[in-house]
Structure 1
Amino acid sequence: MGGLHSGHLDARQRKHLAGYTGAVLKDFAPHYQRQLPVALLEHIQEEVGHRKGCDTRLLHNPDAVSGSDVVLEGNLQVFQDGKWRERHLLVTKEFAVESRDSKEVFEKGWECKTTLILTGSQVSTSLEEHCRLLDTMCQHIKGSQGGKMPFSECPTEFPVFIHHPYLAPLCVATNSKETQLQWQRVLQSVVLHHSTVLQRKGNVETRAFLEAVRFYRQEKGSYATGVLAMGSEEEVLSSVIVEDLLPALRDQLFPRLVHSKSKKGYVWLQLLSQVYSLVLSQVTVELSVLMKEVTQRRPQLERQIRSDLDQISTLQDQIAQSITDEMSLEIEQCVTRLVTPTLNSTYEELATPLHAGLAAIRQLFLDVCGDIICTGCTGQSLQELVSPLCSLGVGSARLSDCLLLLETAAERQKGWQESWGIESCRPLVLQAQSAVQQLLESAVFTFRRLLTLQFSYSLSPAQLSQALQRVHDRVLKQLDHDLVVLQAQLAGDALLHIALPMLLKELVPRCKLHLTKYEQMVFSDYSDFLHIDNIFHSVLKEALTTEIRGVLKDTPKKYKLSLHCPSLALLNTPEQSYSVWPASSRDRSYSQLSGSTTLTSSTSSYENLWTSTEDSTVDNSMTKQADNLKTRAMCHPVHAGNPEFTTNQMCPNQRQWGQNKGRRVAVSNMDSSMQDFTTSGQASRLNGDYISLVGTGKDRHLFPEGKQQ
């Protein structure tokens, strides 16, 4: 029972830690097994049209980082384990940061490397910021922390500090200011990528996992997420375990460590790092086994859901209606008392950096497009034309400046923590930055694709200039639409993330026993898919969503984006901009079955803002075929003098219906400005309008494999 030397755990402590980690995984497993059928039901409801997501217009870039497999590399001094060591650092195209003894090890293909964990980290070049973050990690230590820290005796004047929530800080010494900023920007991109990996996935397993984590923590009396929502499944669950262990580490284990008073901080960081590393290693192995076991049930569950989908959805709505009718007054009073007084002020504090960041991204894209148009007038090659787009890639200084505008001030974050009881705003900031960066990548990809298909060496400078301007106008129109949608979604999601934990903390313990009576409404055949606590959570979320949409509806004009296309003005008005959030909702929603004013339909699809096209369910094969035609219809080069391509054939107001396996897809209302981008026999959905399928002398329908009626 003697004191532990340095920050390393002895065999007994390791065994205890492994036992605790295994126990948490054992307790977590039922939650994950319980949530997978629920998430699968939600996914299938969306797939068949019970829920519809908000449409986006820009093409998705499947490969955001193009070119070389190496983004950045160099031989740098790295402070690690209390010593400065020369290491060869390499950032790959997959955003992995690899550390080796030398470049020779890399070139010869030896696997002698370590991969740095940067999820949730903060990267800075400021010594003051570094010291502040150190003080936060060691705030429980009384007196002077002392000891050699990463900023001590730096070999150069240009350090880059990396702070992970549960690992000892790293310090990288660069040789110049330019190199320092370059490494800072690239490492920030790595942090952003790894911290938002689950949000980008959005698949059934990810939804089930995040809900399982929420219910597991809720069972322990914790309702906030904080840093725990960042990273992969293994990192999220490891963070949950370490967060639960922190009180014992601080109060019981750390005081027993043998160390000099001058090295308290250093020893604590070493201890925390070792605990996190051991937990992460064990979780990675055991969680993989658990996830494999759980997902093996998916085919059977999916068959059952699809065969009884209408009955399950109807029963789900009936239970929600019963809960709403009985508890709507209590929920509304709770929302009015806890949420309403501070919701508007919180939104204004959120809207300021959000508007600034989105406006800056838009202006950045405009500037780069302007450079391309100016270059095009000189008759350069395609490679030279698109070269300005390279300035928007990973490590871009201008992009980093735009993303920095999305950061919220420290005093605002502190105010939210006091008002709402949230642990951290950092996940919100990272998710917003990731979404904005993906939007810009999509705009760049769309512009490049359009320009590639429009470009021809036979075009005169005047024709090339006209083609560039058409591409610019088309992409900017789509970007403006997606910016407005994204602004509403980010603001709404952030408010929901901030306010919902307080509502859950107030109502879940109070209503837990009362909700048990609704269990008898669930048929035994559907008990895997319908859980009262999930439905109650949805009811609370819907009530809060209604309140938030009211706030978004009253958005001041100063937070509205300046739009390129007047036809998008409708979407950008206070009456319409809020209706695009949430991003997905159900046509058969709780609110449509309930007479309560607390619950309302979450959203209307964007297409309804432009046309009264009938609701339709599109078969997957039809959707894929339309997506394959999308770029060609958008991007076909100008066909000067082509007799098969005339204005009279465009039929802008024509509505045609194609049928596939009993399902139909609307094809109508083509924008006249797209005449130069459409060729005979092609069709594409563009800007929410459905392009008529035209041929030579007669209309055509979109039938797979030549099946026509």
Structure 2
Amino acid sequence: MGDVVSSHLDESRREMITARTRNVMKEFSAMYEQQYAVALFNSVRFEIEGGGGTQSQLLHRKDPLAGRSIFSGSLFQYLEENRKWRNRFVSVPDSYTINLYESKTAHERGLHPKVTINCAGYKALTSMEEYIELINTSLPGIKGKVGSNPIIKCATPFPLILWHPYARHHYFCVLTEKEQKKWHAVLQDCVRHSNNGLSEDSTVQTPAFTDAVRLHRQAKGHYGTWDMMCGAPSQILANLVMETLHADLRNMIGPRLKGKMQQRQKDWMLISDAVYRQVLSQTTGQYRALVEACEAKKAPLDARLRTDMDQIITSKEHVISKIRALVLPKAEQLLRTSVQPYISSILEALMEPTSRGFSEVRDVFFRELVELSKNSLNAGGKEKLGENMERLSMLAFHPVKMQSCYEKVEQLNLEGLQQRFDVSSPCVFVNRAQILMSEQMDNAVYTFEQLLHQSLEPQGENDTCKTIQRCQDRVLKKYDYDSSTVRKKFFREALLQIIIPYMLQRLSPSCSPELPHFKELIFEDFSHFLLVENMFEEVVLQSVSKDIMMAVKEAAVQRKHNLYRDSIILNNSDPNLHLLGETPSVDWTNKFGGDEPQGSAGGASAERGSGRKRKQVVSMIQLEGVPLPYESCLEVPGVELIPEEDAEVSEGKQEIHEEDEEDLPIHEDPKSPDSVDEIRDLINPVMEVVLPLSEEKESKLANGTEMTTGTIIMEDGVQEEVTSVTTVVENVPRQSVRDKTSPLSLLQQLKEGKKQEVDQGHQEKAAVARNAEVSAEKSDSQFSPLPPMATDSSSHDDSGFQSPCNEELDGGEPQSATHSLNGEDKVIDLADVEVILP
């Protein structure tokens, strides 16, 4: 594998990649420095003038996942190095990165993970069909089929694949369909939060970065949304470099790849991953240096802004009025002919699935509260309340429980409008809506927690259910208002993201040549904060904002969308509630002394300031009937050991026992002994050994047994007392069981006049049986710890030795039965035996 990469990525090509990355970063750095000053101006102006939207009715939790991990468990990973499947322990912390460990023990010891996956830019797939479709786009002219020699052979029918357009792909599989659904929900949540974009807390760096990326792509002719605007800034910049570099390298290296179709695809994925890692390392270092340089200039720029803010604002308004006179007529004409007829269609396509998703969030929250009331009532009031509330507090971050909400938004479809407005895919809007849904769920849960905690202080245990009901109704009303406000803001932003790039692309050819003339109207001291390109975009935005606002207001009147009209304002309607927002989160487990909720104790042992083990949001999956040794890093089991789809799966917490060894044998679970003989075997085990004997010793022991006692030294040095039983048996052909005389045949012979012969034969058999019983009784009385030897012809003999008392049954001559124990010989006369026939 390394040879393929090194042969196609020689020193000259690596230098070309470095130079291309340096050029892109140089262009981006110039734009970032300009946009940094503009963002600083907007931030300081907002700080001075104030303003903002409506106030949220629900409370916001400051650190929702403090002391939490999302999920941990075991699954099988495909190792491309040796083309084998290995079991790996996976931990998903609150950062939503995926850490893979050799075993659970390695994770608990705090060792570094073998692999850490940042899911930004990835897609979580559950079938080889989806994966093959994406792989076929990697190399032009090379199309693979699912049925013909796939790239990898999954060990189970339930794969999980993380696909990335540039970076390495990761392959996993699990044993059941239910396990696959849970893991897929977790992986999707990791991708969703990694793609969430940059932090909005940074009011300068974030807008400066996003505007610089957007302007850089527009300079290259790329307008519209961009799927790879995800992850950390360094990852976004690496994607920006790879957007053009990847295609050039593919055309350069692709025709030179050797081998079959699947092998060429594998080689190209390895080469692409190596290039991406090289680019990412460069963008990380260069972006860090760029931010440090801009931050060093922030203080003097901030001081100048605060001194000359009024003059800067006046100058900006003067220049914008001049630009508006040039741009507005053209923008209005384009708006009437190409935009307004489609606004309602775009809005309807966005609102239908989004409203269903937020409605599902409300329903899930309501169902959980109903379940909370039932559990509190049935469990006797507050005794289980702490446990139930601890579980409810993480509802918004439970990927499986939130999956039904997320699936509603995934139905968003912009087909038909997508091509017209250059929207690459609706994934950008789907991901944003899902993040907003998760935030609204957490706000509702947190508000309910604070209200319930405040209300339970003076209440008695008998009023718990009524208190829960009152808090529930209060929170649901606030959720309805907040969800309406959040959705309307989301619709306005989505419409702007779709329409503004389209209008800029149409207006730029005629307006851009005129823009440099407006720079002469800006004072040189203010030129850092006022850029004509930004003011041109502001004019275009203002031209379409009125139509977008009107469209959203008209939609709010329709009952099917469950939107509040803007005239309904609930600002400061509950001031006492917002005072609760300053209090820390309630620790329900310690507050009410409840037990650790099932499934909340995480497998992660990383500790925070409290020193406690981190709790886990999603419960484990326990497979019944799957041997524990498969929880260690063994090779994947054979197909015959994999449970069927309908295997029983319990949702409870599972303690996974990991083994450090790679190849341990699989033992069956120990069973309880079913008989006295088995108990004796457990106390004094019998080992059967076949040893050759000399002729002299064999003649002494012919058809008999000899018992001796002694001690042996075991491997661990402990002396054990053992009893040796030696049995010598003549090689006499044995008669089949079917040939033995049955009681029915004896009666028939009696009827035919052969009673004397039958009596004689039956007496001989009875004597043998009686001799066996006497011998067994004596053996049990004197050697009770020893397991009895098989001396009855009707008993099942597992020892492999033949009793001397069975010789008569095998067709030999009748002999006197003897049994030697402790040197005593007792002879039983066959004539003294009484035979009773039925």
TM-score, scaled relative to structure 2: 0.64
Preserved CA contact (<8 Å) 1:145 1:262: no
Select the residue among 393, 397, 400 that pairs with 1:394. 397
Preserved CA contact (<8 Å) 2:224 2:421: no
- Counterpart of 2:242 in structure 1 is 242
Preserved CA contact (<8 Å) 1:146 1:264: no
In the TM superposition, 1:107-118 aligns within 5 A as 107-111=108-112, 113-118=114-119
The alignment status of 1:572 with 2:574, answered yes or no, reads: no
- Counterpart of 2:216 in structure 1 is 216
**Aligned partners of 2:330, 2:253: CA distance in 1, in Å?**
45
Q: Which amino acid aligns with 1:386?
A: M
- Counterpart of 1:180 in structure 2 is 180
1:645-699: CA deviation from partner (whole Å, max 9, x where unpaired): xxxxxxxxxxxxxxxxxxxxxxxxxxxxxxxxxxxxxxxxxxxxxxxxxxxxxxx
Preserved CA contact (<8 Å) 1:4 1:10: no
Secondary structure of 2:111 counterpart? coil
- Counterpart of 1:78 in structure 2 is 78
The Cα shift of 1:50 comes to 4.7
Q: CA 1:477/1:44 → structure 2, altered by over 3 Å: closer, same or farther? A: farther
The Cα shift of 1:28 comes to 1.0
Preserved CA contact (<8 Å) 2:76 2:172: yes
The Cα shift of 1:240 comes to 0.8
**Aligned partners of 1:536, 1:149: CA distance in 2, in Å?**
55
Preserved CA contact (<8 Å) 1:230 1:427: no
The Cα shift of 1:535 comes to 0.9
Preserved CA contact (<8 Å) 1:73 1:91: no
Q: Which amino acid aligns with 1:447?
A: F
Q: Which amino acid aligns with 1:305?
A: L
The alignment covers a number of residue pairs equal to 580
- Counterpart of 1:32 in structure 2 is 32
Preserved CA contact (<8 Å) 1:185 1:396: yes
Q: CA 1:433/1:150 → structure 2, altered by over 3 Å: closer, same or farther? A: farther
- Counterpart of 2:386 in structure 1 is 383
**Aligned partners of 2:165, 2:441: CA distance in 1, in Å?**
29
1:210-258: CA deviation from partner (whole Å, max 9, x where unpaired): 1011111122222223113211101111111101113312322222233
Q: Which amino acid aligns with 2:187?
A: L
**Aligned partners of 1:326, 1:478: CA distance in 2, in Å?**
46
- Counterpart of 1:417 in structure 2 is 418
**Aligned partners of 1:200, 1:373: CA distance in 2, in Å?**
37
**Aligned partners of 2:474, 2:302: CA distance in 1, in Å?**
40
Q: CA 1:388/1:143 → structure 2, altered by over 3 Å: closer, same or farther? A: closer
Secondary structure of 1:95 counterpart? coil
Preserved CA contact (<8 Å) 1:147 1:266: no
In the TM superposition, 1:307-706 aligns within 5 A as 307-377=307-377, 378-381=380-383, 382-387=385-390, 389=392, 392-409=395-412, 412-456=413-457, 459-555=459-555, 560-562=560-562, 572-573=564-565, 576=567, 630=581
**Aligned partners of 1:45, 1:375: CA distance in 2, in Å?**
52
The Cα shift of 1:27 comes to 1.4
Preserved CA contact (<8 Å) 2:382 2:461: no
- Counterpart of 1:665 in structure 2 is none
**Aligned partners of 2:54, 2:7: CA distance in 1, in Å?**
51
Secondary structure of 1:345 counterpart? helix
In the TM superposition, 1:4-153 aligns within 5 A as 9-69=9-69, 71-80=71-80, 83-86=83-86, 87-111=88-112, 113-138=114-139, 140-144=140-144, 152-153=152-153
Secondary structure of 1:310 counterpart? helix
Preserved CA contact (<8 Å) 2:75 2:90: yes
**Aligned partners of 2:155, 2:580: CA distance in 1, in Å?**
57
Q: CA 1:530/1:150 → structure 2, altered by over 3 Å: closer, same or farther? A: farther
Preserved CA contact (<8 Å) 1:234 1:287: yes
Q: Tell me the C-alpha RMSD between the 2 structures.
A: 3.1
**Aligned partners of 1:634, 1:477: CA distance in 2, in Å?**
22
The Cα shift of 1:375 comes to 3.7
Secondary structure of 1:424 counterpart? coil
Secondary structure of 1:119 counterpart? coil
**Aligned partners of 2:585, 2:103: CA distance in 1, in Å?**
48
1:446-469: CA deviation from partner (whole Å, max 9, x where unpaired): 21222223323x733453334323
**Aligned partners of 2:201, 2:138: CA distance in 1, in Å?**
30
- Counterpart of 2:809 in structure 1 is none
Q: Which amino acid aligns with 1:93?
A: D
The Cα shift of 1:502 comes to 1.0
The Cα shift of 1:198 comes to 0.8
The Cα shift of 1:185 comes to 1.2
Preserved CA contact (<8 Å) 1:6 1:267: no
**Aligned partners of 1:4, 1:108: CA distance in 2, in Å?**
37
1:97-134: CA deviation from partner (whole Å, max 9, x where unpaired): 11233334333333353311311222132333333333
Q: Which amino acid aligns with 1:219?
A: A
The Cα shift of 1:404 comes to 1.5
**Aligned partners of 2:147, 2:237: CA distance in 1, in Å?**
31
Q: Which amino acid aligns with 1:89?
A: V
The Cα shift of 1:262 comes to 4.4
TM-score, scaled relative to structure 1: 0.75
Preserved CA contact (<8 Å) 1:127 1:151: no
Secondary structure of 1:258 counterpart? coil
Preserved CA contact (<8 Å) 2:393 2:446: no
Secondary structure of 2:447 counterpart? helix
Q: CA 1:30/1:632 → structure 2, altered by over 3 Å: closer, same or farther? A: closer
The Cα shift of 1:186 comes to 1.2
- Counterpart of 1:694 in structure 2 is none
Preserved CA contact (<8 Å) 1:359 1:561: no
Preserved CA contact (<8 Å) 1:226 1:426: no
The Cα shift of 1:559 comes to 6.2
Q: Which amino acid aligns with 1:432?
A: A
Q: How many percent identity over aligned positions?
A: 27
The Cα shift of 1:62 comes to 2.0
Larger Rg: 2
1:527-574: CA deviation from partner (whole Å, max 9, x where unpaired): 111111111111111222222112212217556444xxxxxxxx713x
The Cα shift of 1:609 comes to 11
- Counterpart of 1:167 in structure 2 is 167
Secondary structure of 2:120 counterpart? coil
Q: Which amino acid aligns with 2:419?
A: E
Preserved CA contact (<8 Å) 1:227 1:426: yes
Secondary structure of 1:357 counterpart? helix
Preserved CA contact (<8 Å) 1:522 1:530: yes
Q: CA 1:516/1:473 → structure 2, altered by over 3 Å: closer, same or farther? A: same
The Cα shift of 1:203 comes to 2.8
The Cα shift of 1:202 comes to 5.1
Preserved CA contact (<8 Å) 2:75 2:173: no
Q: CA 1:238/1:347 → structure 2, altered by over 3 Å: closer, same or farther? A: same
The Cα shift of 1:280 comes to 1.1
The Cα shift of 1:390 comes to 5.2
Preserved CA contact (<8 Å) 1:357 1:405: yes
Q: Which amino acid aligns with 1:407?
A: E
For structure 2, list consecutive stretches of 5 or more residues without a partner in the other structure: 587-838
**Aligned partners of 2:254, 2:155: CA distance in 1, in Å?**
31
Q: CA 1:261/1:465 → structure 2, altered by over 3 Å: closer, same or farther? A: closer
